[in-house]
Structure 1
Amino acid sequence: MGSQESVPQAEGVHVVVVGGGFGGIAAAQQLRSEGLNFTLIDLRDAFHHNVAALRASVQPGFAQRTFIPYAETFGDSFVQGRVERVDTDRQMVVLQGGREIQYSHLILCTGTDGPFPGKFNTMASYQTAVQTYEDFVQQVQAADSVVVVGGGSTGVEMAAEIKTEYPDKKVVLIHSRIGLADPELLPSVRQQAKEVLLEKGVELLLGQKVSNLSELRLNVTQKNMVVTTDKGETLTTDLLVCCTGLKVNSAAYASSFSGCLADNGALKVNQHLRVEGFNNVFAVGDCADVKEPKMAYHAGLHAAVAVSNIASSLSGRELTSYQTGNITMLLAMGRDDGVGQFNGFKLPRCLVTLGKSRDLLLWKSWREMKQKQP
């Protein structure tokens, strides 16, 4: 039975998608192609391709390419607002200000939150968001030296972006562990990330934590700030950028699904990505408690399974299970270099540069949103 045949049975079906990140827009597009009625809700009025957020932080004029207005793609099926809670008894999503939206099925794709510039989870217009990045570029340009705190994948990419765009600036990366980037990457890929940073001239301070972080101003250029570490080292810098502290964005659903939360706030799901205890609620992307790295690529795969299972449940077909696979992860090390692995195999740097680093997959999001890149 083709998916379009389920449309006559879809009366009374209204799928609400909470969160318009990579998982959310993938879910919305697939719901549309299944002919299912849906509403996509997000804080902002534009999708943020945050894979390119770090480039937008260093390159003037780049930020406008990283925000894509929702309304042009989804029209009346998009609602801007902050979801405060879900009333599971009445099957209502409750927005700040009191507006309620009824659902027959719910897909939660609230993602992760973290410090700017890696994340921009603020209730703001597209123009405000772009301007916030342009203002940050000016802070970077005004600094002679930058300290990046955190050497996970975001910190590694941030340090590389700054040093690539501004090779004369002093860039120091401080990381609490010895190994850089995501622990789930192959050791040889993590080592390669370290080599690229050193080749670019980034100074590394590994196995140390910044001890006075709470006393320092982030993202604002201020000459000769003193940074101290737990190992007693001190250094001065003009700009401090924090790339640590990613956390699951659970505010929209935590009170309603308190019995289904993992320790980190993600939602426990079964193999069909249904939230435990609910047949009509799915979790997709970073807020689903699935043992794999938090990546845009995985969010898209989750969305396909969730929407396919909604369509299947309406037409009595068998549900699809989500299977985790070997890890594919690409790190853009500035626009001219990159490291990564595909399906568990290490890739040559030139391939990662071609595949991701040059354009940061922006073309893919603009194509998915069926809009023309400026």
Structure 2
Amino acid sequence: MGSEQKKRVVVVGGGIAGSLLCKTLQKHRHFDFTLIDSKEYLEITWANLRSMVEPTFAKRSVINHHEYLPGASIFTSDAIDIDEDNQVSTTEGRQIAFDYLVIATGHMGNRHVTKSERLRQFEADYEKIKSSDSILIVGGGPTGVELAGEIVADFPGKKIRLVHRGSRLLEFLGETAGKKALDWLTTRKVEVILGQSVDFDSSSDGTYLTSGGEAIAAECHFKCTSEPIGSSWLTKTILKDCLDGSGRLMVDANLRVKGFANIFAIGDVTDVPELKQGYLAHRHALVVANNLKLLIEGGDEGKMVKYTPAQPMAIVSLGRREALVQVRCVTVIGRIPGMLKSKDLFVGKTRKQLGLQA
């Protein structure tokens, strides 16, 4: 197969799912792939909170795309359109033609374009935490709980308040998980305020007002509520009718966007009914890599790999040594789950998957 006959695969989004897909495609000689990403690096997102208390940790978890994709065609730009001529348009005016397209735009993240900008942000967050005696965390999902755990472990003398609009922490898991996390935090003198949100518009001079009218004094704050899904750009493209009411792309069992034979979607941007987690985004990437290989080599579509939504399982790290794990109906907290995740946060394993030193 000559290079002029190679099928063109365009991947939009260089996050957890898109990066592994590109690494896998690079091993197959039948592909000519292009990565379009709004930033020049992959960020191992579940390591972010450790990087805020230990900025040197980010040097392993923020990886320039060219580090693991040497020689690849990579455009640092936002995709803004997909048209009927099988082209993706970017903000810089490029039109990139494809035979197959994979959407992997996940959630809207930070807007730092370069790796050095992102590393400087972690340094700034660290200085903010270090110099503040009182810290407000808004959001009691996994991000807020993990950040509180990281700060408590590294800076045990800080006064930390965590405000969450829900009736319990970690609402994506069972009630037992939320109660165990609450007990763990309160034992370490974190003040948890449930059933309230924070009105940032009416907050000033280090005083934050909650929806319940409570005034909270804090020298700094961190917003740990969920980011919007990265699909708003699709509303004016040929995929506009493929978005569900939550803004996720509707996909079939092979992770193809419904109604399109040559367009796939992977990771958090899909409507697959499961928790949105990094290791599942990796699974999506490997399923689509196999399906693209089959299609491009002229295989039988009936033999495409089907993706089975995963059973609920999650590990929430609590500082450097402890964690909370839920597998189906069983919830365990302490050192043993911590041995699974908390020391390295799977950064070494993820780097190895990308062909880099752990």
Q: Please indicate the TM-score interval, normalised by the length of the shorter structure.
A: over 0.9
- CA offset at residue 163 of structure 1? 1.4
Q: 1:156 to 1:90 in 2, by over 3 A?
A: same
**Which residue of 34, 39, 45 corresponds with 1:44?**
39
1:363 aligned to which of 329, 348, 355: 348
Larger deviation, residues 43-52 vs 249-258: 249-258
- Indicate yes or no: 2:11 matched with 1:17: yes
Aligned-residue Cα RMSD (Å) equals 2.0
Question: Structure 1's 105 and 125: CA in aligned 2 closer, same or farther, altered over 3 A?
Answer: same
Q: Does 2:285 align with 1:303?
A: yes
1:288-329 Cα shifts (integer Å, max 9, x gaps): 111111111111111111121222223323112111121121
Contact 1:247 1:264 (C-alpha < 8 Å) held by counterparts: no
| Aligned CA distance change for structure 1 residues 38 and 190 (closer, same or farther; 3 Å) | same
Structure with a larger share of its residues in strand = 2
- Cα distance change on mapping 1:108 and 1:344 into 2, 3 Å: farther
Task: Kindly provide the amino acid, as one letter, of the partner of residue 299 in structure 2.
Answer: G
Q: Which residue of 2 aligns with 1:133?
A: 122
Structure 1 residues without counterparts, runs of 5 or longer = 1-6, 114-118, 218-223
Decide whether the 8 Å contact of 2:256 with 2:263 is kept in 1.
yes
* Match in the other structure for 1:316: 299
Q: Give the distance between the partners of 2:50 and 2:11, measured in 1 at CA.
A: 28
The two structures have a TM-score, normalised by structure 2, of 0.93
Sequence identity (%): 29
1:110-159 Cα deviation digits (max 9, x unpaired): 0112xxxxx43x25211111011101110111111001011111111111
Q: CA deviation at 1:232?
A: 2.1
Distance 1:188 1:123 in 2: 37
Q: Which residue of 2 aligns with 1:243?
A: 224
Greater alpha carbon shift after TM alignment, 294-303 vs 348-357? 348-357
Question: 1:1-374 maps to which residues of 2 (within 5 A)?
Answer: 11-35=5-29, 36-113=31-108, 119-120=109-110, 122-183=111-172, 185-210=173-198, 212-216=199-203, 225-256=206-237, 257-314=239-296, 315-317=298-300, 318-342=303-327, 345-372=330-357
Contact 1:328/1:343, CA 8 A, preserved across alignment = yes
CA contact (8 A) 2:322 2:336 kept: no
Contact 1:71 1:78 (C-alpha < 8 Å) held by counterparts: no
After TM superposition, where is structure 1 displaced by more than 3 Å over at least 4 residues in a row? Answer: 7-10, 342-345
| AA of the residue aligned to 1:95 | T
Q: Matched residues in 2 for 1:157 and 1:349: separation?
A: 14
- Aligned partner letter, 1:130: L
How many equivalent pairs are there? Answer: 353
Cα deviation, 1:257-307, whole Å, max 9, x if unaligned, reads: 111111221111111111111111011000011111111111111111112
SS of residue matched to 2:284: helix
Amino acid at match of 2:80: R
What CA distance in whole angstroms lies between the structure 1 residues aligned with 2:260 and 2:34? 20
Secondary structure, aligned partner of 2:196: coil
TM-score (norm 1): 0.89
The 1:275–1:235 alpha-carbon spacing in structure 2 relative to 1, beyond 3 Å, is same
Instruction: Say if 1:153 and 1:182, in contact at 8 Å, map to a contact too.
Output: no
Q: Which runs of 5+ in 2 are unaligned?
A: none
User: How far apart, CA to CA, are the structure 1 residues paired with 2:259 and 2:112?
Assistant: 31
C-alpha change, 1:38 and 1:248, in structure 2 (3 Å) is: same
